[in-house]
């Protein structure tokens, strides 16, 4: 049984060629075979899946289902799922059972999608390699000795290995795009505010945004259309109408202006630069017009991000104190001991590091020197993008300065932070952006980043889909996962 996307699966379900239960069993067999080896899942949800399978089949039988009805997926384990553990990859929330569904989860449930499991992730979404999970590192299906990227590495590995056709993720500074690139799949982060953050455990509230992984841009568009929408329960939710992001996929990109950033291309290793340039040339051959642009303050993005994001993390994670939320230490001597030991034992090293950096940056003596200055840089970067989008429709850029690296290769945290050099600028500006596969370097996947202007998800998905009509990189599958 082989499927080439959601539309084909939906047609098979609708025509009764396969039942929702049979579809689930097909993917479940893959989960049982590969999930443990990849360490990509934290918690399976068989009881919930069975309830949703019955509901989905009923919708299909009555003719009231849609394209997503019956489609299996996994959720990154920072989306609250009612009655099921939501751990955020942390010891602090190891036994936290969410009392409600996140809006993103609820939206996909309403479409009739079937939740198979919760995916492994860097603790509280802090990391670029998925080595920071309390539940162990996720492995890249292309090479089990290498990282899948982070923080949504479990979700990306699941889709890359074919365990599910779709997975949710979140992106704060690149946590969808970088794993998508390193695992050879498609992943999109929409405009900040497009997706509700209600029920999505917060890392950095002005940056976090939910998104989706799939093999193709078309599948991403179909799922993202259902995920997005205004939510009164989230004060940062954008008050814009729901949009069908798949509507303009078939538009030719002839005449479209695509921005290229020469400085970014020059800093790439030769083999990745050649692969990236070839993919941009493909867009040119399809009729797009390439325009060189400049983002003069983008080189400051990583520095600004690693002040702003930790500052917000310091504030957001203060609630996990062993009393209001989270794991409580055993036999505390007094209140101070309870706070100190609960947080010391509950949080991993990277989370502690970012809390400390953020608390320091927000302190009275350093607020103006660091946090306020970082916010000013953020504004400058946003203005750079605004000037660029006055000239172009979409920007094409690298995703990562390297292919998937080996475990423990980056012992210095700063070198890990530099992995996000190309993804952070668009995150600080709150723009929609995505990664699409463009081939292999040293038998490992490389991605191309497409960045759109505010609320222009349809435009980058259009470019991605048209690129995927001309190429077959999105069909490449890691050895050992290809013929099942």
Per-residue b or e along 197-225, where b marks 16 or more CB atoms closer than 10 Å to that residue's CB: bbbbbbbbbbbbbbbbbbbbbbbbbbbbb
Residue 20: partners with Cβ closer than 8 Å, 6 or more residues away: 13, 53, 56, 57, 60, 69, 70, 114
Name beta bridge partners: 200: 79
Residues 6+ apart with CB under 8 A from 483: none
The CA distance from 49 to 55, in Å, is 10
Q: Which residues pair with 452 in a beta bridge?
A: 394
Q: By three-state DSSP, how is residue 263 classified?
A: helix
Told to judge if 294 belongs to the known catalytic residues of this protein, a careful annotator would answer no
**Domains of the chain and CATH, by start:** 6-256+430-475 (3.90.1300.10)
Which tens digits make up the pLDDT trace of 339-350? 999 999 999 999
70: left (phi over 0), alpha (psi -120 to 50) or beta: left
Residue 76: the pLDDT is: 98
pLDDT at 484: 59
* pTM score: 0.96
Residue-level pLDDT at 480: 85
What's the rounded Cα separation, in Å, for the pair 257 and 262? 15
Tokens linked to 353:
């590091």
Segments of the chain scoring below 70 in pLDDT: 483-484
Spatial separation of the C-alpha atoms in residues 367 and 345, rounded to whole Å = 28
Separation between Cα atoms, residue 205 and residue 353, nearest integer Å: 18
Residue 382 a catalytic site member? no
Q: Is it true that the peptide bond before 141 is cis, omega within 30 degrees of 0?
A: no
3-state secondary structure (DSSP) of residue 268: coil
Distance CA 56, CA 165 (A): 16
Question: First vs last Cα of the chain: how many Å apart?
Answer: 8
Q: Say which of 129, 151, 427, 458 is annotated catalytic.
A: 151
Rounded CA-CA distance 306/463 in Å is 31
Per DSSP, the residues of 194-221 read SS--TTB--S-TTT-EEEEEESSHHHHH
Catalytic residue among 133, 175, 225, 246: 175
Asked about 76 being catalytic, the answer comes back as: yes
Q: Given 76, 139, 189, 459, which residue is catalytic?
A: 76
What's the pLDDT score for residue 3?
Answer: 82
- Beta-bridge partners for 444: 441
DSSP 273-314: HHHHHHHHHHHHHTTPEEEE---TTGGGHHHHHHHHHHHHHH
Q: What is the DSSP string of 323-375?
A: SSSS---SS-SSHHHHHHHHHHHHS-HHHHHHHHHHHHHHSTTTIIIIIIHHH
Q: What is the CA radius of gyration of the chain?
A: 21
Interatomic CA distance for residues 115 and 56, integer angstroms:
11
Q: Is 322 helix (H, G, I), strand (E, B) or coil?
A: coil
For residue 73, count other CB atoms closer than 10 A to its CB.
Answer: 26
Position 87 scores a pLDDT of 97
Q: What is the pLDDT of residue 109?
A: 98
Question: What integer pLDDT is reported at residue 114 of this predicted model?
Answer: 98
């Amino acid at each position: 049984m082989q499927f080439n996307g959601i539309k084909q699966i939906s047609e098979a379900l609708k025509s009764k060629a396969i039942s929702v239960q049979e579809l689930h069993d097909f993917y479940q067999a893959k989960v049982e075979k590969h999930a443990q080896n990849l360490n990509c899942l934290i918690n399976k949800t068989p009881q919930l899946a069975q309830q949703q399978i019955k509901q989905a089949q009923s919708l299909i039988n009555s003719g009231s289902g849609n394209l997503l009805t019956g489609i299996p997926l996994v959720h990154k384990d920072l989306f609250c799922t009612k009655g099921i553990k939501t751990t955020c990859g942390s010891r602090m929330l190891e036994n936290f059972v969410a009392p409600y569904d996140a809006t993103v989860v609820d939206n996909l449930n309403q479409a009739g999608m079937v939740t198979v499991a919760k995916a492994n992730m860097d603790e509280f979404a802090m990391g670029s390699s998925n080595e920071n999970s309390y539940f162990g590192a996720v492995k890249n299906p292309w090479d089990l000795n290498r990282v899948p990227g982070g923080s949504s590495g479990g979700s990306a590995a699941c889709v890359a290995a074919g365990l599910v056709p779709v997975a949710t993720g979140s992106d704060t500074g690149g946590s969808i795009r970088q794993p998508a690139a390193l695992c050879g799949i498609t992943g999109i982060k929409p405009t900040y505010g497009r997706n509700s953050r209600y029920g999505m455990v917060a890392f950095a509230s002005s940056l976090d945004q939910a998104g989706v992984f799939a093999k193709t841009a078309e599948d991403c568009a179909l799922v993202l259309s259902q995920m997005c929408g205004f939510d009164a329960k989230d004060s940062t939710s954008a008050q814009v109408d729901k949009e069908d992001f798949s509507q303009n996929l078939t538009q030719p990109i002839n005449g479209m202006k695509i921005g290229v950033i020469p400085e970014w291309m020059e800093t790439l290793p030769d083999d990745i630069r050649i692969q990236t340039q070839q993919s941009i040339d493909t867009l040119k051959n399809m009729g797009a017009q390439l325009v060189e642009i400049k983002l003069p303050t983008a080189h400051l993005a990583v520095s600004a991000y690693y002040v702003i994001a930790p500052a917000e993390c310091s504030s957001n994670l203060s609630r996990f104190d062993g009393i209001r939320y989270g794991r409580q230490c055993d036999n505390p001597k007094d209140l101070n001991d309870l706070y100190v030991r609960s947080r010391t034992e509950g949080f991993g090293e990277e989370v502690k590091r970012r809390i400390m950096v953020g608390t320091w940056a927000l302190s009275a003596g350093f607020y103006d020197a660091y946090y306020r200055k970082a916010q000013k840089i953020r504004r400058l970067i946003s203005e750079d993008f605004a000037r660029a989008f006055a000239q172009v429709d979409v920007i094409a850029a690298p995703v990562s300065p390297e292919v998937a690296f080996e475990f423990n290769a980056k012992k210095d945290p700063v070198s890990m932070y530099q992995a996000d050099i190309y993804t952070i600028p668009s995150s600080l500006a709150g723009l929609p952006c995505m990664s699409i596969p463009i081939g292999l370097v040293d038998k490992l996947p490389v991605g191309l980043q497409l960045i759109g202007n505010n609320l222009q998800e349809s435009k980058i998905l259009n470019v991605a889909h048209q690129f995927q009509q001309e190429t077959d990189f999105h069909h490449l599958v890691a050895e050992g996962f290809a013929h099942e």
